[in-house]
Amino acid sequence: MGGRLEGKVAIITGASTGCGPVMAELFVQQGAKVLMAARREELVAEAAARIGENAIAMRADVTSEEDIKEMVDRAMKAWGQVDILLNNAAVPGTDKYVWEQTLENWNATIAVDVTAAMLCSREVLNRSMLERKTGSIINFSSTAGWIGIPRKTHYVTAKAGLRALTKTIALEVGPHGIRCNCLVPGSIDTALWQNYGKRMAGEQGISFEEWREKALSGVPLRTISTPDDIANLALFLASDDSRTITGQSINCDAGAYMVG
């Protein structure tokens, strides 16, 4: 029997580390063919090799229009269509109070976290989805965009803007049979989060375990999302199981975004 994504083709940006490879592996297990794109070519190539022949990797800088065109062109040449786009690429930028903020830091964060999602969406729509009148675009925001975080005006603004972008794309593409939704995770238990926690624990003179318990004390479930949790939610939104869901920003914040 086929999987939930049998016959589908997906592009995943930011696919070298974190949730990217986990989502790619799950999608392939569910029958999809996946193009994994990231700036760190060696890492994304290693991840694709582990997954197998239905995952291919390429280097792509999602702030470059030319790279995005080449990314979609690669998927089209390999498989003739694009059914799913996961705009997973993101950067945190450098933490600065607003009175310290630089235009370089602001623009670099907006470029990856918002503008790239627009450019990637535009390209898959023009190259495949509009003509075939089908597709699912999934953006990845953050609970930071709901609650705000000191010293992250750049990142918070980008993640809040991504929800608005999602809503507007959904309104535009809905009549063409295409959906666009947004996942809004809190913290995710990745190496990046663990390294952050260890640094914060060191600054506070406590163990990582103590910091983790403190950080999760205000979270109802007292737990944190895993990459597998995020991958399963992305699978739901990518599949026909969510065929009547569009324009939504769906919280997945078992672990609320940690400040420190």
Give the model confidence (pLDDT) of 126-144 as tens digits. 999 999 999 999 999 998 8
| Domain shared by 151 and 236, yes or no | yes
For residue 231, the model assigns a pLDDT of 97
Place of tokens 């086929």: 2
205-217 residue pLDDT tens: 999 999 988 888 8
For residue 193, the model assigns a pLDDT of 85
Strands 84-87 and 9-13: parallel
Structural domain harbouring 112: 9-187+226-252
221-231 residue pLDDT tens: 888 899 999 99
Question: How would DSSP label each residue in 206-246?
Answer: S-HHHHHHHHTTTSTTS--B-HHHHHHHHHHHHSGGGTT--
CATH number at residue 153: 3.40.50.720
Question: Position 26: which residue type?
Answer: L
Confidence of residue 252 (pLDDT cuts 50, 70, 90): confident
- Is the four-CA dihedral 52, 55, 56, 60 of positive or negative sign? negative
* Alpha-carbon span 259 to 116, nearest angstrom: 26
Element (H, E) at 173: helix 153-173
* Alpha-carbon span 86 to 81, nearest angstrom: 15
148-191 residue pLDDT tens: 999 999 999 999 999 999 999 999 999 999 999 999 998 888 88
Q: What is the mean pLDDT of residues 28-44?
A: 97
Question: Position 185: which residue type?
Answer: P
User: 260 lies in a domain?
Assistant: no
Place of tokens 């666009």: 180
Residue percentage of the chain with pLDDT more than 90: 82
| Res. 254: pLDDT tops 90 | no
| Domain shared by 119 and 197, yes or no | no
For residue 255, the model assigns a pLDDT of 53
Count of structural domains, the chain: 2
Give me the chain's average pLDDT, please.
Answer: 94
For residue 27, the model assigns a pLDDT of 98
Cα dist from 18 to 15, 36, 73, 128, whole Å: 8, 13, 25, 28
- Using the 8-state DSSP alphabet, how is residue 101 labeled? -
Q: What is the mean pLDDT of residues 201-208?
A: 94
| Domain shared by 210 and 248, yes or no | no
For residue 258, the model assigns a pLDDT of 44
Instruction: Give me the active site residues, please.
Output: 155
Confidence of residue 219 (pLDDT cuts 50, 70, 90): confident
Taking a C-beta distance cutoff of 8 angstroms, is the pair 26, 52 a contact?
no
Strand partners, 249: 182
Question: Position 234: which residue type?
Answer: A
Element (H, E) at 182: strand 178-185
| Domain shared by 248 and 144, yes or no | yes
